[in-house]
Chains A and B, each alone.
Chain A
Amino acid sequence: MTDEPRAPEAGTPDPGAGRDQRLASLLEVPALDEATRRRLVRTAAERAASPAVSTSRSMGRLGAAVGVAAALLVGAVVGAVVVTRPSDPETPSAARASSTEPTTAAAEAAAPAPQSADDEVSAQDPSGAPPQELGDLGAVRGIGELRAAISAGFEQGAAAEQATADSLPCRQQQAGLLGFVVVSAIGEAQLDGLPVVVLVGPSPTGEDLVVALDPARGCEIVRRVTL
């Protein structure tokens, strides 16, 4: 761009140096409302204080969901071992069931409560816990709304599988290529009018990430931000 200076010479009064009061009044922006200001400040302070620690309410739920998913995986493996040893007199089936029963709302969100130990074993993929399904997060504008929708998705619990054929390739992206240690939750949304697949999970540095992928453009990354 050619914006070479056309400023007055040194020592010459610059008629444009003062503030343009008319523009100043036109550009004025009303103060933030107290709740918004507090939220912005609190989030910034928390992120700065503990960048590697989950700070939002949704991340608390995410952490719980990931923890429970890991616990369920361990439980499933243990359960499978127990089921293959049905004659073990030291381990009653009721005890086996209770040992792997989810105990938090997040756990209920992550997977339906098993009716029996056998049911639970068959419901779990022994190769790894599947990401939590957040479902359709709806139409959101900006990252703030997306974060809120993800939070609501965790809150609402397990949704039915929402995958569309178009979104499947994005859902199957390798976590590592997107900067995740593991993808712990998946949903879909309309981000600023663009249909996206939303992946949530921890990064190697411990931050919780949100990555929005555009299924119509080869799963191109649309946004990649901390949760």
Chain B
Amino acid sequence: LADGRTELSDEQLAAVAAGGDGRAMELLLARHADRVHAVCRRIVTHPEDALDATQEALIAIARGVGRFDGRSRFTTWIYRVATNAALDELRRRKRRPVPGISKDAASDGGSSRQAGERAADPTEQVDARLDVDAALREIPDEFRAAVVLRDLADLDYAEIAEALDIPLGTVKSRVARGRAALRAALGNPEAVTGRPNGQP
């Protein structure tokens, strides 16, 4: 882009966007849409619901960018918003039937979903062999969020504590136990140090 907006840092672009520059806002959102979607996708574990959560997160980011105070990295703030949107989506989903994840499907990792549906989502194509979604569903939401922020988003413990608004020690605990449960669910018994199915 000739106007140089693309050269701006996230924080600079956020400031410009907060001032009402629509193009800066679109650039900022486009820059982070994939990472927002990735976090939502892995926390929600359902492709369509993850897109809904991503949309809500991007709207929240666009509306809230003026409140970003710069005390943390912009990406940390982005992940915080994305995580909240994903957890909200999960709460909504628990109040209604889960599409494509009947009890039977959930128990077999969702494999009873139609092949066409699975093929439509590239993440599911990648996951087909290990069924990462099914494994993620086996661990509690808050553990899943912690693991996703640590190992997918690569936030450090302090950033996760800020994103989830929980104490640092709790972050470490959730990451450790979430990882153990996830490894177990993925079929790595040597790593089973957490509770079965991640239950308290």
Contact = CB atoms under 8 A, between A and B. Distances in A.
Contacts of B104: none
18 contacts: A1-B200, A23-B182, A24-B152, A27-B38, A27-B152, A28-B152, A37-B33, A40-B29, A40-B58, A41-B26, A47-B59, A47-B62, A47-B63, A49-B22, A49-B62, A144-B52, A144-B55, A193-B97
B63 A48 contact: yes
Interface in B88-130: 92, 95-100, 122-123, 126, 130
Interface of A: 1-8, 14, 16-17, 19-20, 23-24, 26-32, 36-38, 40-45, 47-49, 51, 141-145, 191-194, 222-223
Contacts of A51: 63
Contact of A3 (B25, B95, B157, B200): B200
Contacts of B151: 19-20, 23-24, 27
B48 A145 contact: yes
Contacts of A47: 59, 62-63
Chain A CB count within 10 A is highest, among B140, B151, B175, for: B151
B176 interface: yes
Chain B CB count within 10 A is highest, among A8, A51, A144, for: A144
Given A24-B154, A27-B148, A30-B122, A142 B49 contact: yes
Contacts of A43: 55, 58-59
Contacts of A24: 151-152, 154
Given A19-B150, A24-B151, A191-B96, 13 more contacts: A3-B142, A4-B173, A8-B172, A17-B156, A24-B154, A26-B132, A27-B151, A29-B37, A29-B38, A32-B33, A43-B58, A47-B63, A49-B22
A17 B130 CA distance: 25
B100 A141 contact: yes
Nearest to A224: B92
B179 interface: yes
